[in-house]
A and B are shown apart, each in its own frame.
Chain A
Amino acid sequence: MNDIKAMSFEEAMAALERVVRDLESGQVSLDQSIALYEQGAALKAQCETLLRAAEERVEKITLNEAGQPAGTTPLEGL
């Protein structure tokens, strides 16, 4: 499950589609299908978590005297 939490959206989505295909193929035992379902549910949750984190933040780099990035300030009005 921790592995799933570390997955990118693309990885999680691919894994989820694989699980669904396996389940739909009907080639798995009943025990396996339960395990696959739980795995699929976790993958779906991960996908939704990643998709929910769709917050927009627009910032601008602020540079110090040496021209190095010192931080960011919100970039308003766009």
Chain B
Amino acid sequence: MTDDLIEPLAGSGAGNAPEFTVSELSGAVKRVIEGEFARVRVRGEVGRVSRPASGHLYFDLKDDRSVLAAVSWKGQVARMQVRPEEGMEVIATGRLTTFPGQSKYQLLVDEVEPAGAGALMAMLEKRRQALAAEGLFDAVRKQPIPFLPGVIGVVTSPSGAVIRDILHRLRERFPRRVIVWPVAVQGQACAADVAAAIRGFNALAPGGPVPRPDLIIVARGGGSLEDLWGFNEEIVVRAAAASRIPLISAVGHETDTTLIDHAADLRAPTPTAAAELAVPVRLELLARTAEAGARLGRAVMTRAQMRRQRLVDLGRGLGRPQALLAPARQRFDLWADRLDPALRGLTVQKRARLSPLAALVRPDLLRRFMVEERRRLDAWSARLAPALARTRTDNARANLRNRAALVALAERLAAAPQARLAALSERLDRLDRMRLTLGYTETLRRGYAVVRGAGGLVSSASAAAAAAALEIEFHDGRLPVVPTVPDPVAAPPPASQGGARLRKPKPPRGGPDQGSLF
């Protein structure tokens, strides 16, 4: 076929070459390409993506050197599990065709799969981080799961093992009213269905025809990453995060984590586990209630019993008056019995002590005692008269002695004053003589004189020369003199002490009885 087309063109004779219209050639090219590439798989990076209102999806697949235009029709897009996003490394499956209107060829893509799990995981992680950054996964947003929900809304497929497992476990633990909101759990419709179901349950008004659940379980069995992909979609995550009804997610197996798990109030590893987290075990609660009821009864009975017992005890303690008296009576009896014997015993004892003494008390004991006393009296009486006479004689002798002593003392008394006066007089004379000897007047008798001026004693020639009048005392009287003005030549030098002493006695310093004059 190629030969038919190419060979004539390659020939040199232009006149022989058949002519094609543009459309004929384009059609021929189209047939060749479509025939040759009816089903191909192409690996490349997704370039620019556009999805106009028509619903068709146009995108580029590229590697480092070439670009391939790709298109998915609306119906194909709806069936796609993974929708191409710019930058994704994918393997696109489809057939090659041409677009004669623009002289283009393009790949008509049926299916897009991420090239390897790594690429999908990378995309998932990027999305998770973006949603986490918005705070949709914050712990503060988590609502508590009700202890015993009355109505449980389950978002899952109405057929299949998952709803069966959930109902089975609920039945075992605590049968509840369950409302299933049927959704597609994989495929293109999954994310939109699940998000709509979550929002729909939340939109139910309390008391409406359909009861509003107290708890929502979003559940799906295990599957591949692609199978679970719907639960990673942003629309689902946002619906779960916005749910006012507490929500448990149970998607896939324990090891699978989808983004709805982060947004849910509680994540259950499996649908069965979700049922366990949703309701408590009824039998346990019944047992707990019964036990509490029993304890209640016991407690109140015990309290009453204890009080009754206490009352009985107290009553018993209060009880019989005899009990109060008995010990006293017993003590009384004991001591009363001992009273008479005690008195008798005491009498006997006293009598026993009296008897030997009584035996001694006899008349001749008294008589003997009196004779003895009389004898002593007579002896003392006989000595009384001589003692008196002797005393009288002694006293008379003493009187005589005392009288003589008195006379002698009287004589000495009369003589004593005269002797004392004579002695004192003699001593006085002695002292006066001594006085006269020591006084300056005696000195005057030996030729000395005392010179006095107006101001008292004059003891120097210079003082005497200065005085207006002098008085000289001799031993036999005083003589006033007037000093003449001395001739300086004739006057003896006053410094000569020897001369001064001869002419004018030095007056006694300090007093007449000054010892230094001797």
Which chain A residues have a beta carbon within 8 Å of chain B's beta carbons? Answer: 8-10, 13, 16-17, 19-20, 23-24, 26, 28, 30, 33-34, 36-37, 40-41, 44, 47-48, 50-51, 54-61, 67-72, 75, 78
Residues in B136-192 with C-beta less than 8 Å from chain A: 146-148, 158, 163-164, 167, 170-171, 174-182
A sample of 22 cross-chain residue pairs with beta-carbon separation below 8 angstroms, ordered by A number, consists of A9-B147, A13-B285, A13-B292, A16-B296, A30-B304, A36-B300, A37-B299, A41-B293, A41-B296, A51-B282, A51-B286, A51-B289, A55-B175, A55-B177, A58-B177, A58-B180, A59-B178, A60-B179, A61-B210, A68-B200, A69-B181, A71-B210
Contacts of A41 in B (CB 8 A): 293, 296
Contacts of B179 in A (CB 8 A): 59-61, 72
Q: Are A67 and B164 within 8 A (Cβ)? A: no
Q: Are A69 and B200 within 8 A (Cβ)? A: yes
Q: Are B292 and A20 within 8 A (Cβ)? A: yes
Q: Are A30 and B296 within 8 A (Cβ)? A: no
Would you call the interface of chain B mostly helix, strand, loop, or mixed?
helix
Q: Lowest 9 CB-CB distances: which A-B pairs, in order?
A: A56-B175, A23-B299, A10-B147, A40-B296, A37-B300, A47-B289, A57-B177, A44-B293, A9-B148
Rounded to whole Å, the gap between the CB of A36 and the closest CB of chain B is 8
Q: Are B299 and A71 within 8 A (Cβ)? A: no
B196 in contact (CB, < 8 A)? yes
B126 in contact (CB, < 8 A)? no
Of chain B, the residue at the smallest CB distance from A20 is B295
Of chain A, the residue at the smallest CB distance from B170 is A56
How many chain B residues sit at the interface, stated as a range, is 35 or more
Contacts of A19 in B (CB 8 A): 296
Contacts of A23 in B (CB 8 A): 295-296, 299-300, 303
B209 in contact (CB, < 8 A)? yes
**Roughly how many angstroms separate A6 CA and B80 CA in the complex, as a whole number?**
51
B204 in contact (CB, < 8 A)? yes
Of chain B, the residue at the smallest CB distance from A44 is B293
Contacts of B164 in A (CB 8 A): 78
Of chain A, the residue at the smallest CB distance from B182 is A60
B307 in contact (CB, < 8 A)? yes
Rounded to whole Å, the gap between the CB of A74 and the closest CB of chain B is 11
When each residue 248-288 of chain B gets 1 if its CB lies under 8 Å from chain A and 0 otherwise, what string results? Answer: 00000000000000000000000000000000001001101
Q: Are A16 and B292 within 8 A (Cβ)? A: yes
Q: Are A33 and B303 within 8 A (Cβ)? A: yes
Q: Are A30 and B181 within 8 A (Cβ)? A: no
**Roughly how many angstroms separate A55 CA and B167 CA in the complex, as a whole number?**
12
Q: Are A9 and B285 within 8 A (Cβ)? A: yes
Q: Are B181 and A61 within 8 A (Cβ)? A: yes
